[in-house]
């Protein structure tokens, strides 16, 4: 099937956060990015989101803006064959000459191409029908940054709120406070029951501190430790010395698929990895090795969440909660109808055919 790109529309957006967050030393009070809209010769529009996050992406909004303008000059009038679709090829096999794109821009383009492949039957529509509408529930872990909470009581209150929502897992950002504070805070939650613990130290611990943390948390139901040490090789050595479930996130960002790891969990950020195709290659590698896969967000909008929902369902990733806990921190969304959070910590995306952009948060089109 041939599709011709007739137009590429570009809108900037800015979304306030519910509270100030700090990402790798960058203090953020809003989320900014671009929405790309590919319009085909049948009149359908396919959206993608380019939203580099300071402290995570090396590119910035101005870089994505420049790339979007180049994309417009390269794509308008171009004919694409959906028969060439492939999960494992760059830009899903539909475009092969855009290697200059940054990870955020590549992700936006592949989102739009994925939407096109689904709309025209190259990929299946997924989700159960309810009142004639397809929905894909996505299980999501809670997220608590211990250092940003004013007290242990505040941490406990937030943890309880996740338990009431039915969360199976809660991720805690640790390593910013004195070690004893992290240990005491986590142990205070042990008897409340319910969720498993994911501990993300952000590569901030020494080997000795990490050993002390594990020793202090014996008996806690820990699902995994994420990137505990700055030295990856040492993390794997520690796992051999005293077995623990290791999760990797940043490790994947700039590595090719031929690199290997013994990690039990692959935490994959599609917008940082450079798109859907690179993410799928890592998904296939994880499945070959028997590792678990966690799709992870970067304060992404509902558009990206819909993409993650599709990948989660298509590749059967729902046995573990996804790492999408940053989405509720957006005070507004680029979608007119936000994803709802259902009991069991399941995000329910809006159907693609009902997708309406929230014009109140969009800037002037360029």
pLDDT tens digits along 328-362 = 999 999 999 888 777 667 777 666 556 789 999 99
Query: Domains of the chain by range and CATH?
Result: 2-125 (3.30.390.10), 133-360 (3.20.20.120)
Query: For residue 84, what are its two tokens?
Result: 């060439």
> Does residue 272 contact residue 300 with C-beta atoms inside 8 Å?
no
List, in sequence order, every residue forming a beta bridge with 25; answer none if it has no partner: none
For residue 220, pLDDT beyond 80: yes
Tokens 């101005």 sit on residue: 62
Ranges of H-type helices in the chain: 61-75, 103-119, 152-165, 179-187, 207-216, 232-241, 270-273, 276-289, 302-314
Mean pLDDT of the 290-302 span: 95
pTM given for the model: 0.91
| Per-residue model confidence (pLDDT) at position 225 | 92
pLDDT tens digits along 118-141 = 999 999 887 654 433 446 778 899
Mean pLDDT of the 188-216 span: 85
| Per-residue model confidence (pLDDT) at position 134 | 46
| Per-residue model confidence (pLDDT) at position 133 | 40
- The answer to which of 39-53, 146-160, 302-316, 323-337 has the lowest mean pLDDT is 146-160
| Per-residue model confidence (pLDDT) at position 129 | 46
Query: For residue 139, what are its two tokens?
Result: 């299980």
Shortest CA distance to 30 belongs to which of 333, 268, 295? 333
CA distance 67 to 33: 13
For residue 226, pLDDT beyond 80: yes
State in Å, rounded, how far the first CA of the chain is from the last one: 30
pLDDT tens digits along 71-117 = 999 999 999 999 999 998 888 888 888 888 999 999 999 999 999 99
Strands 79-81 and 45-50: unpaired
């Amino acid at each position: 099937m041939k599709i011709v790109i007739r137009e590429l529309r570009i809108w900037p957006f800015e979304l306030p956060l519910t509270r100030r967050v700090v990402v790798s030393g960058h203090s953020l009070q809003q989320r900014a990015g671009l929405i790309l809209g590919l319009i085909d010769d049948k009149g359908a529009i396919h959206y993608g989101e380019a939203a580099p996050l300071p402290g995570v992406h090396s590119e910035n909004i101005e870089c994505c803006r420049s790339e979007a303008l180049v994309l417009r000059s390269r794509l308008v009038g171009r004919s694409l064959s959906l028969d060439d679709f492939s999960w494992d090829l760059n830009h899903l096999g539909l475009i092969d000459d855009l290697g200059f794109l940054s990870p955020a821009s590549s992700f936006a383009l592949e989102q739009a191409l994925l939407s096109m492949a689904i709309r025209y039957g190259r990929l299946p529509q997924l989700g159960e029908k309810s009142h004639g509408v397809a929905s894909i529930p996505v299980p999501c872990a809670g997220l608590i940054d211990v250092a940003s909470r004013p007290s242990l009581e505040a941490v406990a209150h937030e943890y309880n709120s996740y338990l009431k929502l039915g969360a199976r897992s809660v991720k805690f950002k640790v390593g910013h406070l004195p070690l004893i504070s992290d240990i005491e805070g986590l142990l205070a939650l042990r008897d409340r029951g319910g969720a498993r613990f994911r501990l993300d130290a952000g590569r901030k611990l020494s080997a000795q501190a990490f050993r002390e943390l594990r020793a202090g948390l014996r008996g806690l139901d820990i699902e995994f430790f994420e990137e505990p040490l700055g030295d990856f090789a040492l993390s794997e050595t520690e796992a051999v010395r005293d077995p623990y479930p290791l999760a990797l996130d940043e490790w994947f960002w700039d590595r090719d698929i031929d690199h290997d790891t013994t990690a039990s969990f692959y935490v994959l950020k599609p917008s940082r990895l450079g798109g859907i195709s690179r993410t799928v290659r890592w998904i296939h590698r994880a499945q070959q090795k028997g590792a678990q896969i966690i799709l992870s967000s970067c304060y992404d909008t509902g558009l990206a969440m819909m993409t993650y929902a599709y990948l989660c369902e298509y590749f059967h990733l729902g046995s573990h909660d996804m790492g999408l806990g940053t989405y509720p921190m957006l005070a507004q969304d680029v979608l007119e109808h936000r994803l709802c959070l259902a009991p069991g910590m399941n995000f329910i995306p809006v159907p693609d055919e009902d997708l309406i952009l929230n014009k109140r948060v969009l800037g002037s089109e360029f």
